Every structure is written in C-alpha cells, then in structure tokens.
Amino acid sequence: MNEKAAAYPDRNRLSLLVGTILLAYTLTHFVSIPSLEMDFAFLGVFFPIRVNFTTLVTLLVVGLTASGTAWLLESQEDQDSPRTTFVHWLLPTLTALVLLQAINQLPFRGVWWIAALSSGIVLTLILAAEFITQDTTNRYYIPSEMGITALSIVLFLILALSQHAAGTRLFYRVPVLSLASLLVYLRILHLRLHGRWAVVPGLVAFLLIGELAAVLHYLPLSSIGYAIALTGPLYALIEVNDSFPSEGERFQIQKLVWPILIITGSWVVALLT
C-alpha cells in the first residue's frame, strides 16, 4: 500500500457514492406507492405501523451507505493483512439516516436543494474522515479524529431536534435516540482508545440517554432546547470516560469538573432557548 493511496479516498468512488445517496433522497418526492398499515396492541398500548415508500428509501439508504463505505475503503486495505472495516460504516450510515430525516421535513423547494447540497458536503467530510482514520500514521489522522467527534455530536443534536420537531411518539423516540447515543459513544471512544471498544460504558450511555429522553419529553422545552438538553449529557459522558484513571493511577476528582460544566451549561441553554 503506497503512501499516496493512503492519504485520500478515491475521488471517483467518493463522488459516486455521495451522489447516489443524494439521488436516493429525492426518490420520495418523485415516486409514490400505496402504504401498508398494520396495527397492534401491546400491554394495552396501541401501536400503528405504517410501511410506505419512505420506509423503503430508508432501507435503501442504509444499504447504499454501508456497502458504499466498504467499497470506498477497499482501496486502502492491506491485502496481506485484511481487516474488517465494520466500525467505519457506523457513522456514515447514521449520518445518511439523520440527514434523510432532517431534509424530509423541509418543503421540496429551493431550501430543500440547499439542505441536500449541505448534506452532500457533510457526507463527503464524514466518508473522507473515516477513510483517513483507518491509518493512524496518516498525517491527517488527528484533524479527522477531531472532525468525526464534532460531527458525531452535531448529528445527534440534529436527530434529537428532528425527533422532537416531528412529534415522534415516545415509544419510538426513546429507542431511536438511545441507539444513536450508543453508536456515537462507541465510535468516538473507539477512536480515543485506539481501537478498543468501550462496550460497558456505552451501554450506560444507552440507558441514561434513553431515560433522559423520556423525562424531557414531558417538560415544556422547545425542539432545540430538547436537543441541547440531551446532547450535553451525552458529550459529558464521553468526557467522563477520559477522566477514569489508567492502571496504576489515582482518580482525580477535579477531572470531573469539565463534564459537570458541560451538563450544567447545556441545561441552562436548553431552558433559555
């Protein structure tokens, strides 16, 4: 594997992948099929399930993004020591889904195309960063790591905002936000821990963010306030992991000051928004 091949993703593959995903975004505005509705009750709670063309496009976007990311990363794999690239599929797939949900709430006019163009830029940055972070010796590794961290937090913020703005039922909202928080937490910590998985702390984040999402649902918060009130604690949990001492070190309580300030600041902003 030469140095030039490791520095950047293939531009032809990258542009084709992003363009195909954006094309899939437009399908819901040009194609329509009859929806299939199913209803069921569980523990006395009524749950309507609606399968329509948007559902099919969502599944299409998941498949396109996951398989396309693997295809994009192929040019950097070492054939003598092949390794799985699954971890690098997580964030691009989550990004594509969040952006799809966000722009589908916009009217199909000029603002939609501006949002679609912005989505293409974000997807390009995410895919390029994931490509670069495969190789820790790449000179762009640190900026890419920082970019992935920032974009992951912003994506969770957008997802929480769109879920609240769309009025998604609590039964659906909590699993979506819990799973998204788990994916964001695991991806960021996987980078910070240089390939190790923080599964147990990730499950803690999964449960805490899910419970917090349920509690905040009943408070009179705006959509942006709701999103900030959830995103702050998630980022604080990520920072708390860095506060844990390594083997042979003593725990320092002052390291918790920054996570506490993050939570406090985010909730103050959420209440004032």
pLDDT digits (tens, 9 = 90+) for 112-130: 899 999 999 999 999 999 8
3-state helix/strand/coil string of 34-85: CCEEEEEEECCEEEEEEECHHHHHHHHHHHHHHHHHHHHHHHHCCCCCCCCC
The model's confidence at residue 168, banded by pLDDT at 50, 70 and 90, is: confident
237-252 mean pLDDT = 69
% pLDDT > 90, the chain: 33
Measured CA angle at 202 (ends 131, 175), to 5 deg? 95
**Predicted TM-score of the model (pTM):** 0.81
Q: What is the pLDDT of residues 171-229, one digit of tens each?
A: 889 999 999 999 999 989 888 887 788 888 889 999 999 999 999 998 999 999 999 99
86-97 mean pLDDT = 86
Q: What is the pLDDT of residues 11-32, one digit of tens each?
A: 889 999 999 999 999 888 887 7
Residue 47, beta-bridge partner list: 40
Residue scoring higher pLDDT (106 or 230): 230
